[in-house]
Chains A and B, each alone.
Chain A
Amino acid sequence: MALPAQRCLQVTGANGAGKTTLLRVLAGLLEPESLELHWRGRAVSPRDALYHSDLSYLGHDAALKADLTGIENIRFSVGLRCSRDPAEISAAIARVGAQKFADRLVRTLSAGQRRRIALASLLLSGTGLWLLDEPSTNLDAAGQALIGELISEQLARGGAVIAATHQDLGLVAAARIELELGAQP
């Protein structure tokens, strides 16, 4: 199947249908039995470094260090990929509504607040393909709406998103493709 630019592939399916597995295979974290992957019109291996540098994966574990502050975590995870100036970082933190708690140690943050910190990193990574595994877990109503907005903005920038979620992302119908795993074809 093909995912055109500016489209969000929403993966649904029962628990255990393989949503996470699909995302991990696409991220190159799991070795598939056979997979032919093309990215930007070029055949790539899921472990290709160039492909990886254009991809972000947000899984169940947000890869945050409890003994660093939110902003330190953001600087580190973004810094592994590209350099961002402080203004861009604070803009992203404000965008995800984390300005009140970004300078606190992550161990003192709630699960939803941690998720927002992770979203700021995602926003700053500047990658073309977002792989999101249940992105709205632990988020409040405003946070769930935020996920939809961030995805829409990513699509507007020309990126693509693959999200495993059952939540209504509030996308326009034309931007959304649905894939139900486990359904009989």
Chain B
Amino acid sequence: MSAPENLPFGVRTGALAAAFKVLNRDLRLAVRRPGQLLQPLAFFAVVTLLFPLGYTPELEKLRAIAPGVLWVGALLASMLALESLFREDAADGTLEQFLICGQPLVGLIAAKTLSHWLLTGLPLTLMAPILGIALGVPVAAMPGILSSLALGSVTLSLIGAVGAGLTLGVRRGGVLLSLLTLPLAVPVLIFGARATELAIAGESLTGPLYLLASLAVLGATLAPLAAAAAVRIGVE
């Protein structure tokens, strides 16, 4: 097939600009539907606050389990929003257009992953210290909790994007998505809970923080590539 070259083209959009447009659109969509945004946060709050009610109101005992409760709660809440990461775009044909718009798919998928973190990981991180108070966490531990959750939730979003891509073709893939993603999230959980424990005890948490940061860097390097490949398979 052939056609002449003199077609009106406009100025081509760069790969980075295209990724930014995806991010911009996802944030705008989220603002139009605040309910979806609040669900994971409400889930996190309810799960965490069940512990003082169901286990013991003694702050001493709660403080001992606080790291685990906060991290498991954040992990499950972040998982809640994952299923919808690609599902809607797959259903209305947007992902097809991503594949054929001439832009590198990795960039567009990375932008969607970043939007997932900005819309769930970041708010969950900011909420954790407030919930920590209910579990008897001292105020001095708040910076440690914030920094460890901020790093850990980045990795959770990245791992989750791969899982969400892989379960695209599966109807009602929510449970499968959790089964795929949760085992991969175990290192984040271990180092994150350890960092929080050290922060509560008032000790230095540099070690686990470095490990969390290296996991985040590893995830940021590999996960968008894997997620893009998974999405490509899922759309076909």
Contact = CB atoms under 8 A, between A and B. Distances in A.
Interface string B8-23: 1111110001100110
Q: Chain A interface secondary structure, helix, strand, loop or mixed? A: loop
Interface residues of A, number: 50
B1 A59 contact: no
B4 interface: yes
Given A41-B2, A67-B32, A62 B93 contact: yes
A60 B91 CA distance: 11
Contacts of B5: 40
Nearest to B93: A61
A144 to B, nearest CB: 22
Question: What size tier do the contact residues of chain B reach?
Answer: 35 or more
A27 B8 CA distance: 20
B204 interface: no
A129 B3 contact: yes
A70 to B, nearest CB: 14
Interface string A133-176: 00000000000000000000000011110000000000000000
Contacts of A81: 10, 12-13, 101-103
Interface of A: 2-6, 27-31, 37-41, 49-50, 52-55, 57, 59-65, 67-68, 72, 76-77, 79-84, 88, 124, 126-129, 157-160
Interface of B: 1-13, 17-18, 21-22, 25, 28-29, 32-33, 91-94, 96-104, 235-236
The 7 A-B pairs with the shortest beta carbon distances in the complex, nearest first, are A61-B93, A53-B102, A82-B10, A5-B3, A52-B102, A63-B93, A67-B32
